[in-house]
Structure 1
Amino acid sequence: MLSLRKRAWISGGVSALVAVTVGTLLLYSFLNQKVLDRFDSTLADRHTQIVVALSNVPDDPDGLGDLIFDPAYQTPLSGRYWQVVGPDGQIYASASLLDGTLPVPQTGSGKLTLTDAESTELDQVRIAHQVITLEDGSEWSVAVAESRADLVAERAETRRSLIVAFALVAVLGLASTILQTAAIARPLDKLRRDVAHRWESEEALDGKDYPEEVAPLVGDINTLLARNRDIVGRSRRQAADLAHALKTPSAILRNELSALAGKGRATDKALDALDRLDAQLGRSLARIRMSNTGETTFARTDLSNSVNRFSRMFAAMAKRDGKELSTVCEPNLTIRVDAQDIEEVLGNLLDNALKWCRRAISMTARRVSQGIELTIEDDGPGIAEKDRNAALQSGRRLDTSTPGTGLGLAIAIDLLKAYDATLELDASQTLGGLAVRIVLPRQLVR
C-alpha cells in the first residue's frame, strides 16, 4: 500500500497536470479566437477604407489606387489586396493582385462577410466582402483580402508562449505539491521519531505538540506504548524469574548426582539428561524473550563494550586450557538489540569455539555494507559443508565425543531471527576450522 506521502504526491501531481492541461486548452482556444477577432477587425477597417474611397470617386473608379495610401497594395503578391466590381461587371483591383482576382462569392450580401478562401495565385487568404449601394443607387462589390500567413504565424507564437508558460506553471505546481506534502507529513514524521524516542525514555507524548487532527491518535499511542511496555517488561521479568527459580533445583540435582558419582554410582546418563534439560529450558526461556523483543524493543547496546568484555572473560578461560583468544573490534559499534540477547549469542558461540578449538580462537566485529559483521573462528576440526545445515538444527550433534547438548547454535539462531539478523557457518580462511559469521542488518545499527 502506498504511503500517505506518495499518495499526496501522485494525487497532487495528477490534479496539477489535469488542471494545467485543461487550462492550457481553454486559454489557447480563447486566445486563438482573440487573434482571429483582431485579424478580422483589422480586415474590416481596411474594407471600410476602400468603401470610403469608392464613395469619393464613384464616377472614376480607376482613381481608387490614388486614394489608398498603403505600399502593400502596390507591391505584387504582397499578401494584402482589394478588389471592386462595378455595376457593369468591370473589375478594379490593387496592383498587388497583378492579373489575378479575388475568389469572392458570386452572389453578394448587403452585410459584411468574412471567409477563408484559396486560389492558385494567392494561396490562402481571408476575405472581407460586401455589396454596397451608393447614393446614386448603383451596386458595387467591394472585397479586401489578407494573407493568412500572418494569422497562422501569430497563432503559432501564441501556442508556443502558452506551452512555455504552462510548462513553468506545471513545474511550479508539482514543486508546490511536494513542498505542501512535506509540510503536511512533517507532524507524522515527528510522531514516528517521538514514538521511538519515548519507548526508550518511557515518557508520554504530549498532544499539544501535534496538529489537532493528530492529537487523538497521540493519546491512543500513549496508551498502546504504556501497555506494550508493561507486557514486554512483565514477560521478560517472568522469564528471568523462571530461569532463576529453575537454577536452584537444577544445581541441587547436579550436586546430588555428583555425590552419587563419588560413591561409584553410574550417573552419566542422568547428568546428560540434566544437561539437556537445562539446555532445553534455556532455549525455551530464550524464545520467551525473543517473542517480546526484536521490533518491539528500541534498546541500545554498546556492542563494542560487550565484545571486549566477553573477550576478556573467555581469554582467561582459554588461557587456563592452554589456548588463546584474539579479538579485533571496531570502536563505537552501537546496535538496537537487547544487551542480554546479543550477549547470550556471544556466550554460546564462544563456548562452542572454546570447546572445539585446538589452540586458537579469533573474534572480529566490524562495519560492512550490510550493517555489522561479527565473526568467530577457531582452528578445530570444523564442520563439513554437507553437514552445516544439520548443525544449525535444534539439538543436532554431529559428534557426541565432547559433552554438550547441541542447542547453543539453535538458541543463537532463534534470538538473531527476532532481529532479522543472519548466522552462517563457513570454513575459516585464517585458522582452518569453523567460522561462524553473524550479520546484523543496517536497520539495527545506531
Structure 2
Amino acid sequence: MRRPLRQIRSSLTLRLALVAGVTVLVFSLLTAWVLEAAFRDNAADAVETRLEAQVLLLMGLVEVVGRNEVRVPEMLPESRLQLPASGLYARILGPDGRTLWRSPSAVGVSLRGWSEDDFFAFSLPVQWELDGGQVGLTFQILEDREAFEEQVEQYRVSLWQGLMTMTISLIVALGLALWFWGLWPLRRVQGDLEALRHGDYGRLEGPYPTEVQALTGSINDLIEFERARLTRQQNALADLAHSLKTPISALRLNLESQNPDPEDMRRQVDRLQAIVQHQLSQAQRLGPAPFQAPEPLNPIIERTCQALGRLASQQGVDLDSYLEPGCALRMEPGAIFELLGNTLDNAIRHATSRVWISTQCTAEAVTLTIDDDGPGIAPGDRARVLERGERADVRSDGEAGQGLGLSIIQALVQDHGGELYIEQAPELHGARIRMVFPAS
C-alpha cells in the first residue's frame, strides 16, 4: 500500500490523473443520484395525475340510486380495473365507510390496511346531490407500486450503465489530454534541459506557459549564476597570474642585486599574500565584500610605491606621489594592492621617466589618479583596451602581453561602485588613469 502511495506522490502525471478521475467519478455519482431522484419524483407525480384522471372518469360513469346503492357499468374505461389482481383497484365508499362498490380487479383482494409503501392511492370525497338531499361518497383508487419500482429500476440500470460508460470514456480522454497536451510543456522543458546539458542550447527559451515560465526563469537565473561564477573563477586565475608578475619581478630584482634589501623582500611577500588572498576571496564571492569598513588609502599607496621603487629605478622612472590626507575607500586592502599594483606596473612600463600618483577627497567622491609621461593611449583605443585580452602596445621584446591589466583594474573599480577614465595627462602628456569612487 505504501509503495503505490509513494509512486503517486512522486509522479505529477499520476497526481493529475488521480485528481481528474476522482473529480469525474464524484460528479458522475452526484449526477446519477440527482437524475434518479428527479425521475422517481416525476414518475410518482405522473402516477398520481393518472389516478386522479381515472377517479374523475369513474365519477362520470357512476349512477347513485340511493343513499347506500350505486350502479357502475360493466364496461370500465380502464381495462386493468376489470382484470383480477391487475394491480389497479377502485372502490366507492358510502357515508358510513362501507364499501358500496369495488372494481372486478379487487375481487378476492383485501384492501384493508393498505399503506403508502405498497400502493399509490388517490381519494376524492364528494357530496352527491339526490332528490332527498346529499349523500357523502368517497371515490378511491389504488395502484400497486411494483410496476412503478420496476420502471424506476430499469431507469436506474440504464442510467448507471450510460453514466459509467461516459465516466470511463471521460477519464480516459482526460488522461490522454493531460499526457499529450496538459503535460507537454513539462516534457518540452525536460527535452530542452537535456539539450542544454549536451550544449545544444545556452539557456531555456521558448513559448512556455505562464506557470512554467517561473520555473524556466529560475533555471536560467541559476545557469547564468553558475556561468558567471565559473567565468569569474577562470578570470581570477588569470588575474592572479597577471597580478603576481610585478611583485615577483621586484623580488627577482632584489635577489639579483648586489645589496638585497630584506625589508623590500618582506613587503613584496606581503603583497603576494594579499593578492592571493584577495583573488581567492573574489573567485568564491562573486563580488566585493559586503559591509566593508573604510580603509585608509594613503598608507597602502605609500607601501605600494616602496614595493615598486626598485622596479621603477631599473626602468629609469621616478615614482612620485601627491596624496591628500584622510582619503579612505570601502575596499579590502588586497583589492587596493591589486588595483595599485596593476595600474602602477602599466604606468612604469610605459613611462619615459616619470610617474605621478595622486589622491583627491571630497564629500562626494574619492579620486585616484596615475599619470605617466609615456606615449599615452590613443582616444580610439581607450574603450578597446579595457576589454579582457586587448592591449594597445607591444612589449620591448616584441611579444604582445596578455592584455589583462586594464581589464582587471576596470573590474575592481566597477565592483566597488567606481568609474574608470582613460585620459591624457595634462602635465606629463602621457596616459592618465583616473578612478573615481563614491565617498565612504
Q: TM-score range by the shorter chain?
A: 0.3 to 0.5
Task: Give the structure-2-normalised TM-score.
Answer: 0.45
